[in-house]
Amino acid sequence: MRTVWAALIALGASTAGIVAWVTIGVCLLAYYSTHPVRKRRLTNSPAQFGATFEDVRFLSRDGTVMLSGWFVPAQAPQPGGPGIVVLCHGMLADRSEVLPWAEELWNSGFAVLMFDFRAVGESEGETCSAGYLEAMDLCGAVDFVSDRPDCQGLEIGVFGFSMGGAAAIIAAADEKRIMAVAAHGAFASLDRALIQRCRKHFGPLAPVAAWATRVIGARWMPVPTSDVSPMNAVSQLTPRPLLLLHGRKDKVVHHTDARDLHAAAGFPKTLNILPRSGHRTIHHTHRDQARKQVVDFFIENLGNSTGGCSK
């Protein structure tokens, strides 16, 4: 009898421990996903690859927050091309994350704008919406470059990583001045991304953890997580081109998200699953090829009009 009671006590303690672990983990996930921890200051800049740049500030299109960024003019500006590329960082990061992509694009003749989404880096705001309001931030960036005299005649492309790629697809569905979209590691929907993140942290308890995270996070999210869905927006990019890169070993956003986005998109579209890459880093064996593919994508698809930045 004592053995049975001991087993029941041990089972109860184990269950209580699991419940406490999941509860604390879910609360932390919901809070820190919507309340990013800011770095004290940005330690890198385009100066590290020899570029002259301008510190800029502009409003998100929803008019609620002022955003901070770097504008890097083209090395040899010319009317009509090759264009300007707006770079969008991932969740819980800041604009310095996309500096390697900026270097490649700038060296290829593009003007580049990097900026911090709301609530991170040097931009205003207190909460992250995982791509929903961040799409409005990107539209604000498009408004900003469209108003610059030195951008007149340049077509606009967007490259985004992870959440930045999701925001790029959502924004481009409505903002027709975005002429080409490239993304690496973009999720197909926030609900799917949440399930995958919970599976990584909570294993078989992922469905319960994801449900609880949505319930807790709803107090800070402006819309239900189901409304943050690049899958529902991607077909509206047609006939503008789309390039999707994704790591085959990505444990944060599964590569099937990229395949499903590609299947839902119209034409023209390109999908490149990088076999050795994860989420945040591209494996060194195909890093140069991936960056060249992005540069070539924008060379091919920007710079063909006489006034792509004009309102």
What Å distances lie between residue 48 and 42, 71, 105, 110, CA to CA? 13, 14, 14, 17
Structural domains of the chain sorted by starting position, each given as residue range(s) with its CATH number in brackets: 1-34+190-227 (no CATH), 41-188+228-301 (3.40.50.1820)
Name which of 311, 310, 309 is nearest 74 in CA terms.
Answer: 309
Given a contact cutoff of 8 angstroms between Cβ atoms, the answer to whether 115 and 69 are in contact is: yes
Q: How far apart are CA 189 and CA 230, in angstroms?
A: 6
Given a contact cutoff of 8 angstroms between Cβ atoms, the answer to whether 106 and 178 are in contact is: no
What Å distances lie between residue 28 and 24, 66, 205, 238, 297, CA to CA? 6, 27, 16, 39, 39
Measured CA angle at 41 (ends 65, 167), to 5 deg: 45
Return all residues near 121 (Cβ < 8 A) that are at least 6 apart.
38, 39, 42, 68, 94, 95, 96
Return all residues near 110 (Cβ < 8 A) that are at least 6 apart.
74, 82, 83, 84, 85, 298, 302
Q: Tokens for 303?
A: 């710079």
Q: How far apart are CA 55 and CA 50, in angstroms?
A: 15
Name which of 239, 243, 293, 302 is nearest 267 in CA terms.
Answer: 239
Q: What is the chain's pLDDT, residue by residue, as a tens digit (311 residues)?
A: 556 555 545 444 455 555 565 789 889 999 999 999 988 788 899 999 999 999 999 999 999 999 999 999 998 766 656 899 999 999 999 999 999 999 999 999 999 999 999 999 999 999 999 999 999 999 999 999 999 999 988 999 999 999 999 999 999 999 999 999 999 999 999 999 999 999 988 989 899 999 999 999 999 999 999 999 999 999 999 999 999 999 999 999 999 999 999 999 999 999 999 999 999 889 999 999 999 999 999 999 997 543 334 33
In one-letter notation, the amino acid at residue 165 is G
